[in-house]
Chain A
Amino acid sequence: MKPSLFHLPALVLGLLAAAASEAHHSFPAQYDIDKPITLTVTVSKVEWTNPHIFIYGEVSEGERSGTAWAFEMGGPNTLLRKGWKRDSLKPADVVVIEGSLARDGSNLVNARSVTLQATGRKLFAGSSGGDEVPTAGQKPSTPP
């Protein structure tokens, strides 16, 4: 797949943005930072909406292969500043998504980063739990 996704300066900006950017809601009420997950997903739909963007797709590798999942990200304003565009991801794109599982056991993840498998390019997801990989037991202190 061609790396048609991201402007390079914006990509660099996003990668350098080590500080977390929290979005809208109570992360720890909905997601468990101590349950990290990494899934390879074929994108079926992108909802580029406020206050949070959702990516939907089917897992394409591993034991969860064939199951449908939803991934919550930051808001459009946060992601635009991190180098995303509304068409950065398209249906049929294959991405590796890192994030935290929902507490209710559903196939819902708060995404922390999204990497385009074909290019290896990675962008932070504006997670309301922070974009940095947490250390064990570390809780996001500022969720909304």
Chain B
Amino acid sequence: MTTAPRLPRPSAVLSLVSLLALLCAGGLQAQWIGYPTADVPRRSDGSVDMQAPAPRLPSGKPDLSGIWVPVNPNRRSNGEDVASDGNDIASSPHMANIGADLPGGLPYQEWLKPIVKQRTENLAIDDPHIRCLPDNFLRAYGLPHMLKYVHTDGLWVTLNEMNAGYRQVFTDARALPEDPTPSWQGYSSAHWEGDTLVVDTIGVRDDTWIDWNGSVLTEAARVREKISRPDYGHVVIEVTVDDPRAYTQPWTVTLRQRIAVDAELIDEICLENEQFVRLMGLTPEPAASP
């Protein structure tokens, strides 16, 4: 005896059609570009309320989560203090010279002065960034690439759109390693002082470029970041670098970022087809050291 094939119930068909419709609607978003960011505070005209209160973690501390791009007051759209949509990303003035705000500039040690001078004059053709190497976190704050912060009460992770990079900061105030093997991002531990996240980092590599001029950190560097999110639309990072091998005294600069909404990270894998080094006929520069 044969059995007639079972037909799906009308409700199941309806569910399937609804699911397909949803999937198709998602496809119209051109991947994730323009996909609405959740819980964005908006003004009556629909614009992002950049001065709305910052979101909070379960602990009550500010939540740094979000996608962030540099603030550049010299750029027309960025100077208007509006949220980025991912289509108007510019580097910050600190990208070229992280000491741009310091009277007299960065206090370089004598051995480093001619190296930075050469790197500045040759337009950074030896920049590790150009050779697809990772950007240290200090530099990444100012480069025109999206940073995505994923923040919980125990961990703050930065995802860098460039080269699918990452940096992790343990926010449990753990002790820093005593003899760290140098790494691109170093070793970072953080604690809260009020609503400010204080991040201490050691263990970066020698000759870690921190701006386009070729200023560097060495293995002796200790970096302290005081990070705040005063409102929804901004993150402020006060950076103090204490690196006696590279600088005659500690120095402090303030870096700023603004929120990007309705945007998402997209692959930017430099090694895929980098042509600059080949077209310029360059060879790698040896690492600088005192």
A residues apposed to B, CB below 8 Å: 7, 10, 13-14, 17-26, 28-30, 47, 49-52, 54, 72, 75-77, 80-82, 85, 102, 104, 108, 141-144
Contact = CB atoms under 8 A, between A and B. Distances in A.
Interface of B: 30-31, 33, 72, 74-78, 85-91, 95-96, 122-125, 127, 129-130, 132, 143-144, 161, 212, 263, 265-270, 272-276, 279-280
Query: Which one of A7, A23, A26, A72 has the highest number of Cβ atoms from chain B below 10 Å of its Cβ?
Result: A26
Contacts of B95: 142, 144
Contacts of B280: 29-30
17 contacts: A13-B85, A17-B88, A19-B75, A19-B88, A19-B90, A26-B125, A29-B280, A30-B280, A49-B272, A50-B270, A52-B274, A77-B267, A85-B30, A104-B279, A142-B96, A143-B124, A144-B212
Given A7-B30, A19-B75, A21-B144, A29 B122 contact: yes
Given A26-B127, A80-B266, A141 B87 contact: no
A34 to B, nearest CB: 15
A128 to B, nearest CB: 9
Contacts of B272: 49-51
Contacts of A21: 87-90, 144
Determine chain B's interface SS by DSSP, over half rule: loop
Contacts of A85: 30
A10 B85 CA distance: 12
Determine chain A's interface SS by DSSP, over half rule: loop
Contact of A50 (B75, B85, B124, B267): B267
Contacts of A51: 132, 268-270, 272-274
A144 B124 contact: yes
Contacts of A26: 123-125, 127, 130, 212, 276
Contacts of A14: 87
Given A13-B87, A50-B269, A144-B91, 9 more contacts: A13-B85, A24-B274, A26-B276, A29-B125, A30-B276, A50-B267, A77-B268, A80-B266, A144-B130
